Structure formats: C-alpha cells, structure tokens
Structure 1
Amino acid sequence: MAHHILGQSRTQTTLFPEVLEDFITEDNPVRVIDIFVEGLDLQTLGFEGVIAKGKGRPGYHPAILLKLYIYGYLNRIQSSRRLEKESHRNVEVMWLLGRLKPDFKTIADFRKNNGKGIKGVCRRFVEMCRQMNMFADSVFAIDGSKFKAVNNKSKNYTPSKVKFHIDRVEKSIEKYLSQMDTKDKDEKAADTKVSASKLAWLEARLVELKTLEKEVNEHPDKQVSQTDPDARLMHTHHMERRVCYNVQSAVDTKHHLIVEHDVTMTVDRGQLTSMAAQVQKALGKKNITIIADKGYFSRNDIKATQDLGMTANVPQSDTSGAAKKGVFNKSLFKYDKNKDMYICPAGEELPHRRNVTEDGVEQKVYVNHVACSGCTIRAKCTTSVKEPRKMKRWVHEEMIDAMQIRLGDNPDLPVLRKQTLEHPFGTIKMWMGATHFLMKRKKNVSIEMSLHVLAYNLKRMMTIMGTAGLMEAMIA
C-alpha cells in the first residue's frame, strides 16, 4: 500500500534524552561564533559585567549576549525582541547560549551599554584577518553609502521647510478668521465651536513652528531632526533626499573585507585622510594604496595622505564652470613645467606673477595682461571686460599631475573600486532589508554598524576559508 513519509508522534517519549550537540553539525557557523568569542579577552576590550558581582541576582556573562548578537546579525535578526524569541525556539541559539533565555530588555541594554567593547571586537577580528595575511596586497577602496536613520523625512526641518509650513498655517488661520467673520447669525453653535477649536489648534501649531524656526536657524547645520537629532537630510544614490547617516568604509580590493568603517553626518569630501589613516593604524603599515571616487577629491587631503606615506588615486572633478560660461576650459591651457608658465589657446605665455591663499589652499597665479588685452579670441577666453584671464595652480599641483598620470595608466582602477565597494554595502543593506537603523543618535548607530561589519567580515571569511578552515585558524 502506497504511503508518505510519516513523522514522529508528538506524544511519544524517548528512553534517553536528546543532546543539543547532536543537532549541530561540525561545520555549523555557530561553532565559529563560539570559538571566536571564547578566545576574546572581553574585559580588556571594555565589556561590562565580565567579573560577576558578589551580591544581588547574578547577571549574564557578556560572552553569552555577544554570541547572541553576532548570531542575530549573521542571520538578519537585529531586533532584541526577535532575538529573545529565537532563544526559546531556535536549536542553534539554544546550543550557543547553553539554553539560556535572556529577555529582550537585557539583550537591548547589552548592545546600548557596550559600544566600546563591540567596536573593539570588530577591530579584533580585522586584526585576526591581518594575522592570517588577508591584506597582503595593501590596496583599499574607500567610499560612503547612505543608510536610512529612524528619523522620518517629515520630522526633519530645514529653514525653507519650516517657512513653508509657517506660511501654510498662517494662510489657514486667515481663512478660518474670515469664515468666522462672515458666518450667519442663525448658524448652529456647534459649527462655530468646531471652527474655534480648529483655529485654536492652528494657533498652537504656529507657536510650535515659530519656536522650531528659531531652533533650525541657530543649528550649525541649519536643520533639525526631531526623532534622531544626529541624523541629517542627504541626497542618496538616486538623488532622493532622505534622513540618513553617511557610512564610510575602507574595503580590501582582493577579499572584499571591511578593514575600517565610520558613521558620519557629512558628505564624502574631507573624509579621505581620516579613513586612510585608520587603515594604516589597523594594519600597522604606512605603504598602502587608496582608491576613491571624485567625491573625495580635495587637494589638502591628497597631500595629507601622501605625506602619511600612502598612494592616493582619486580622479579630479572639473568644477570650473567654464563650459557653461562659453569660455575655454582650463584643460586647454598647457603647463610648461620647466619654465613654470602656462601656454594659452592663442599660443601666448602666462608667467607666474604672485601667490594667493583661497579656502586654505595656497595657489600660484599666472597672467599676461599685455597679451590678453590685445588678444583676438579674448571673448572665448574670459567674460570680463577689464580683467584678463588668470590661471591658478596649487603650489603642490605636481602631486595631482602624478596622480592623474597613474589613473590614466590604470583605467581599470574605477572599475575595481566599484566592484570592491558594491559587494559589502549591497550585502549589508540586503541583510537589513527595506528598513533603517534600529537605534537613535550617532553613538548608538555606530554600535549597530560595528555589529553589521563584524557579521559581514565573519561571513566573508567563512566563504573564503570554509567553516572548518576558519575554526582551525582561530584555534592555532
């Protein structure tokens, strides 16, 4: 007689109790988590509660909760309430925690109160990867990606947005006052009461907006986020405006491991030196190569990175606006290094005249008043009637010239940068899903990001070395 595979009866008892160890295979990733955490000096890393208190109710050892969080972020379970549920029903979590079942408040407080320790664990894993010789090539791509904050866009205010809301409320108040003035005497009292109530609400709202306007205008960034005060309204990849954090990362181009990361509230420009210096510190070596996109181009940053002993490759963006003005672009003026002068499109020489400092950058000015005044193509060179066309050159421009030559000789560098950075950012955002950071304020968001990075690097190493191979390397 034909039949299907039958399951075990739910009321059937067993002679010998089942052992959790039997449910966890030898190559299960939870074993990697267990070995990694057990090998850490949590007290040195800065975790609270490593040494048990001599009185009161005993607490959980931080290793237990750290294992739970690493497992959660590896398996797209970041919520403390969901992690609590997993400890009751998930066999892998039961094995990992020794059947302990911490409540969601204990789990959430551990993450909130152990930021220093969690960041230290993230750095410790990178150090472990370095000891395994994973960063031998010393080529790293740096970029930023916008991660949505808890703060909704409707709760973020800029000067223009506050003004728009104030104008709208003021118009509504005028409208209601006008309606109340023209009401018929025999109109029902209930209607008048409703209008008065609405008017009172609008007037109270106007007071709130006026207070908010003052707060926005006094803020250094000219914007206020009410839910998460540290989050900022930024342009995302698709030019949408969202309330986000800009997460910076430095990624190894060979294995796509995240060596360093940082949560910022600003744009990419100005972040290059800071991120590159952190990579140097993490690897304990100065001679590294950095690749970044044109959003990071800053002359002072390029010089600073090279002064620190590294090689930077950042394409220069053309921000002169000459094309829009209908005049010759700077690229048409050829620089003569031996004579230290520029040759204009008309073939005239523009010698060095003086130095000026603009926005903290010292520049050399090249100009030829005589040649420019009688030039037949002057209209194509400058829109000014009185002033001649001037060329400005940074005093350390040879660094930029050398960098542009390197980029020209290695056209695959932009492709390498893109391929390197899309992998970790894409993976982490996929794990997060169509959601945002769970915590508020930059300090707490940084803790969340460290857990995401740790989970990503751990998963990446298991893919590269295999679960068994990584466990052997950790034990050795």
Structure 2
Amino acid sequence: MSKKGQKVHDKKVFIPYMQNQLTLPISIESLISKDHVVRVVNKAIDQMDLEPILAKYPGGGRSSYHPIMMIKLLVYAYTDKIYSCRRIAKAARENIMYMWLCGGNTPDFLAVNRFRSERMKDIICEVFAEVVALLVRENYIKLENYFLDGTKIEANANKYSWVWGKATKRYKEGLMEKCQELFNEIDKINEKENNEYGETDLEELGNGKPIDSGAIEETVRKIDERLAQKSQDQKPDDETKKLKKARKTLTKDYLPRMQKYESQQTILEERNSYSKTDHDATFMRMKEDHMKNGQLKPGYNVQIGTEDQFIVGFSIHQKPGDTTCMKEHLETLKSLLDGNLPKNIIADAGYGSEENYEYLNESQLNHYVKYNTFHKEASSKWKADISKVQNFSYIEDKDEYVCGYGRPLVFLYEHKRKSDNGYESVLRVYECLNCSGCPHRDKCVKSEKPFANRRININRKLNAFKKQARQNLCSEEGLKMRSLRPVEVESVFGDIKGNFGIRRFLLKGLEKVKIEWGLHCIAHNMRKMAVMMG
C-alpha cells in the first residue's frame, strides 16, 4: 500500500471489532427489551391456570419437556411467523429470545412436532379458553359485543384430488344395476339346474334387499357352495362356466368398486366432496382465485368472533356456507366460556336465516344480523319493482296477497322444507287467479307455460324475524354495531392472512387444522396485548 493510501486509512475511525475479546458472563434476559412480545407471552402463560393440562401427563418413563415451556415455545414461534417444527427447534438453539423462553432446553423438531400434533390436540381449546379468561381479567375485553365472520383457508391437499358426492352416488347406483342384472342371470342358471336335478340350495339372489358389498360377498359364498356340490371329475358344463365367470366378475370387479364407493360415502357423510390427500377437507370456492375461473380448492371454513380486535372464539367447519355454521360456532363458544355467551351478536348477511334468528331469540341474545336482501330493500329501484314479493300487499281477513298490478293471490297449500342442518321451515304457497293480460307478466312469471300464473312462497316466521332484525339494525345501537363490524373481525382476518401469510394450512386433518388455527388465534391475541402494553 502506498504511503498516501496509508495516511488516508489511518484517518478513518471504526468501532472496535475484536472477536476474541474476553467478556464477563452476562444473563441472556438482560439482552431482551422489557416491552418485547416474548415477555408478554411468558408472563401471560405464567398467569394462566394450566393445572388440568399438567394432570394429563401420567408420569413414569422418560422425562418429558415441561408442557408449559412447550406451549410458550409454540405460541411465541407463531407470533414470530415461524410455523415449521424444524425452524422452531433451530430457533430454540440459536435465537436468544427462544433460548431465554425455553430456559436452555433445546427440544428437537420431532419433540416439537409430537407435542403440537398429539399433546395440543387435547388441550388447545383449554389453552385458548385460558387466554380469553386472562383478557377478561386484565380488562382487555368485556364479552359484550361479539363480531362474527368466516373465511375459507386452503387445506394442505392436492388441488386435483377431488371425490364428488353426486358422482359417487351415481357410480354406485350404476354398479348396483349391473349387480342386479348379474344376480338375475345367476338365478336363471340356478333355476335351470334345480329343474334338472331337483336341488334348491340357492335362494333367489337380491331378494328385494339393497345391494351392497355384503350382498356381493354373500352371493360369492353361495356360488362357491354351488360349485362345490358339482363333481370334481365331471366335465364343466355351460352353467358351471357361467357361474365361474360370474364369480370372477364379482370378486375382481364389482366387489372392489362397491367397497370403494361405500368407503367414499362413509368419508363424505353429508358433504358434497372431499380431497383424497386430506379426507377432512371440502372443495370450496376461494376469494384468492388467481386463475379467475371460479376454481374449487380443498379447504376449511374458519369462523372467528372478535371484541376490540381480540379473538374471543373460533371454530373450524367442513361446510362452505356460513349460514349453517353459526349455531355450531356459538355452541362451541358457550363451552369455552363456561356456558355463557356475549350479550350482542353482530354478523353480516351470510348468517341471516330462520334457524339462526330462532336460535338467537331462544338464547335471549341481542343480535344485529343482516339478511340477504337487507340493503336492497332500502333502494328506490327495489321499491319500484312491483314484481318483488316484499312489495305485495297482504289482506289478513282474506289471507290473500295483492300484487303491484292489483291482482289477488290466493292460498293453495303449505309444505315443509329442510335445511342442510335438518331445520324444518313451513312455507305457504299462494297463486294469482289470473295473470293473463298483465303488462308485467313476462317479468313476474318465471314459468314458460303460456297459461301459468305467478306463485309465491311465504315463510311467515322468517318474515317476522326479518322485521325484528331490520328494527335492530336500523336503531342507533345497530348503526354503531354495523359500522364497527368491518373494523373488528375483517381487520383481524386481514392481519392473520395478509401480514402473517396464513392462506394455506400446514397440517392435515380437521383435528390438526384446529390446533394450527388455535395457535394462530392465541398468537394474534398475544401480539395485540404486546401492542397495547407498549
């Protein structure tokens, strides 16, 4: 180096950098700021009553990592955007926040995964309930206003591994027809042999009973009995060859297919689809549709309720519609809150059904839940449309409706309709006496028949619930709750899905997904507490 260069270098001043400098031993805790979220997680979990969790460890054998330490580790990792067990184990070895939280313990990824998948399965609801109880004790929430909403999150499953319920039913019915045809052929063979030899060993197959895998197995057994009666030395006749061919068709083709369809229907239960790589996932339409083609993806319907942007309750559902989830969700919440529910329930139009309104009234809950036409009914365009049933007049003493053109609709009959949850609604059917000559007929009557008249279905109970809901929603308190709902629950979903990237679950199966989402909810509440404490 030139002298000139040396002089320039000598003028520069740097902070001393000496890797081999000896230092006094220091505590890791002294390196962590007082308002760091790791301290919030540690303090919050220490304040919880986790004795029931400790009681689930039977004792004996090799010592386990302390469950309180493992819960702290998982919760803090989820607040820190670390969800992989390998990365969590790595952080416990290398990151001072995790090292302090674990007290020097270094569980490997197998121990972390085993605790999350097996131990947390039994305690996730209890841990979350303790978090909510802590929020109440610390006056973060009051359990007064409960803002409910749902979102769909993709499952950890192949996008093209679908099994459709309707297709399975159709294939099974086609196979049952083929089985019945084959049974009839076997019956003819047996009848011919019985006439020749006077043997009546085989009863008529099928016999009016439903055809399933058990019926096929029974038929194969009876064919074996018939074949065993024939002499081994006797040259096989045409009937024997036909029976052997029928047996081969049943065992090699029909029976495995029938067993497959029955297994699929068992997995489906009341759903319309499932994924072969995650049997608990249902195919749903996601908002994150980058292909813009309405593609169905395997996923779960996640329901949460918030107060002051803290998550107070959560549940995981396999049905895509929010309407069918409210009652089950609130019952889950009731079990978390020791039989109590928040005073006010606020939700959007996806939850406005007769079944849900009735449940809310029976539970004596104040509610501000919209129905599907709530906003449309207030528009001038809707009010001017005389074809809308809501704009018809009702004459109580005649039990008749009068359409916007002044023609009466008389009562015909009542019929019942069941929801997906089995809830039964009563509908009253009315029909116009004569729609001919009406200038609005083409718009009003949907039937293509030339002499068809307008029919309407009236659900009186639902209409009464809607009237009450509109009064609640248009009140001063209702307007306040409606304005808070998007700020409350939708912002929480935005934080978890947008800021923390939770758009696809890592774990498979309903129980494990429940654990994963429960940890995300707990982590969100911890982050929120840390922000408010700071």
TM-score in terms of structure 2 length: 0.68
**Partner residue, 2:15:** 6
List per-residue Cα deviations over 1:290-318 (Å, max 9, x = no partner).
Answer: 22222222211111111111133333225
Residue 454 of structure 1 is matched in structure 2 by 522
Match of 1:176 in 2: none
Deviation of the 1:58 alpha carbon: 2.3
Structure 2 letter corresponding to 1:256 = Q
Match of 2:459 among 366, 390, 393: 393
Q: Which residue of 2 aligns with 1:441?
A: 509
Question: Secondary structure in 2 aligned to 1:363?
Answer: strand
Equivalent pairs, count: 411
User: What is the rounded CA distance, in whole Å, between the counterparts of 1:432 and 1:211 in structure 2?
Assistant: 43
Residue 130, structure 1, aligned to residue 194, structure 2: no
Post-superposition CA distance 1:333-365 (Å, at most 9, x none): 134679865332123454666543222102344
* Root mean square deviation, CA, Å: 3.5
Instruction: Report the Cα distance in structure 2 between the residues aligned to 1:285 and 1:211, rounded to whole angstroms.
Output: 45
Matched residues in 2 for 1:141 and 1:417: separation?
6
Map 1:16-415 → 2, pairs under 5 A = 16-45=24-53, 48-49=56-57, 52-53=59-60, 56-114=61-119, 115-136=121-142, 138-158=144-164, 216=264, 219-220=268-269, 221-237=271-287, 238=289, 239-252=294-307, 255-267=308-320, 268-280=322-334, 282=336, 285=340, 288-317=343-372, 328-335=387-394, 341-350=400-409, 355-359=414-418, 360-367=424-431, 369=433, 372=434, 376-377=438-439, 379-380=441-442, 381-382=444-445, 383=447, 385-387=451-453, 389-409=455-475, 410=478, 413-415=481-483
User: In 2, Cα distance between the equivalents of 1:230 and 1:278?
Assistant: 19
Q: State whether residues 127 and 282 of structure 1, in contact with CA within 8 Å, keep that contact through their aligned partners in structure 2.
A: no
| Bigger CA radius of gyration | 2
- The DSSP-based 3-state class of the residue aligned with 1:317 is coil
Q: Distance in 2 between matches of 1:26 and 1:391?
A: 64
Q: 1:223 to 1:102 in 2, by over 3 A?
A: same
Q: Which amino acid aligns with 2:326?
A: L
What amino acid does structure 2 have at the position aligned with 1:6?
A: I
- The residue identity in structure 1 corresponding to 2:533 is M
- How far apart are residue 52 of structure 1 and its match? 4.8
Hey, what's the Cα distance between the residues in 2 that align with 1:336 and 1:130?
52
Residue identity matched to 1:296? Y
Q: Is the 8 A contact 2:367 2:472 kept in 1?
A: no
Output the CA distance in 2 between the equivalents of 1:25 and 1:250. 32
Aligned to 1:175: none
Q: CA offsets per residue over residues 388-425 of structure 1, 9 Å max, x none?
A: 53441323521211212333455565543222222211
1:7-57: CA deviation from partner (whole Å, max 9, x where unpaired): 54222222x3222222122222222222222233433146643x753xx43
Q: Retained in 2: the 8 A contact 1:140–1:251?
A: yes
Q: Is 412-421 or 76-85 further displaced after alignment? A: 412-421
Structure 1 pair 412/241, CA: closer, same or farther in 2 (3 Å)?
farther
SS at match of 2:508: coil
Local SS of the residue matching 1:271:
helix
Moved more, 412-421 or 332-341: 332-341
* Cα distance in 1 for residues equivalent to 2:103 and 2:342: 45
- For the 8 Å contact 1:363–1:392, the answer to whether it is kept is yes
- Contact 2:149–2:490 (Cα < 8 Å) also in 1: no
Cα deviation per residue 1:223-248 (whole Å; 9 max; x = unaligned)?
A: 34122111111101254422111111
Q: Quick one: distance in 2 between partners of 1:425 and 1:136?
A: 21
Which amino acid is 1:404 matched to? R
Structure 1: 5+ residue runs without aligned partners?
163-207, 467-476
Q: Partners in 2 of 1:34 and 1:431 — Cα distance?
A: 23
AA at the equivalent of 1:275: H
| 1: CA distance, partners of 2:52 / 2:122 | 11
Q: 1:249-270 CA distances to partner (integer Å, 9 max, x unpaired)?
A: 1112xx1111110011112121
Query: Which amino acid in 1 is paired with 2:463?
Result: E
1:30 maps to a residue whose letter is V
Q: TM-score, normalised by structure 1?
A: 0.76
Q: Which residue of 2 aligns with 1:205?
A: none
Are the aligned partners of 1:140 and 1:291 in contact in 2 as well (CA < 8 Å)? Answer: yes
Q: What SS class does the counterpart of residue 324 from structure 2 fall into? A: coil
Cα distance in 1 between the residues matched to 2:394 and 2:139: 44
1:455 to partner: Cα distance: 0.6
